[in-house]
Amino acid sequence: MSTHLIQTQIELNASAEQVWTVLVDFAAYPEWNPFIRSAVGVPERGARIHIAVQPKGGKVMHFSPVVLVAQAGRELRWRGQLPLPGMFAGEHSFIIEPMGERTVRFQHSERFSGILVGLLRASLDRDTQRGFEDMNRALKLRAEQRRSDLVR
């Protein structure tokens, strides 16, 4: 079985709590998130969420992963797979690592596994990686804007 990891990161000038608040406000995703266009559900361990992902210029794809970890201010992780086991699965994670009082490193990654990974590797490296990076930059803008609103 093939596996493939896409990993990105960005530094944000915001607290871990501010970043978490933006990350788990699923209802607001259509306002700011250029990659995960919608997310419905609750960020709680064991919950199933429904997401629509759209890489820039690509088609919308719908997934219903199960939340594996939802640790406020630290980590959100879910896992989804195609109905046929072993074909294609992904474990998506967001890790918020405090670097100071008002600075965090946001790590955004996904480990893909299954028979189809080899066939999809080029589009994962191109489209999914770009989607993660676009989302990271948008999260940075949103969280830092939220911080400046709180400081006023």
| 64-90 pLDDT tens trace | 999 999 999 999 999 999 888 899 999
CATH fold for the domain made of 2-151: Alpha-D-Glucose-1,6-Bisphosphate; Chain A, domain 4 (3.30.530)
The mean pLDDT of 127-143, rounded to a whole number, is: 97
Residue whose token pair is 């994670």: 93
Q: Is the pLDDT of residue 149 over 70?
A: no
Q: Would residue 98 be called left, alpha or beta, if left means φ above 0 and alpha means ψ between -120 and 50 degrees?
A: beta
Residues with Cβ within 8 Å of 152's Cβ and at least 6 positions away in sequence, in order, are: none
Strand partners, 70: 76
The mean pLDDT of 43-52, rounded to a whole number, is: 98
The answer to whether 76 and 68 have CB atoms below 8 angstroms apart is: no
Residue whose token pair is 């607290």: 15
The mean pLDDT of 33-55, rounded to a whole number, is: 97
Spell out the domain ranges in the chain: 2-151
pLDDT tier, 148 (very low <50, low <70, confident <90, very high otherwise): low
Return the ∠ at Cα 89 (arms to 87 and 91), rounded to 5°. 165
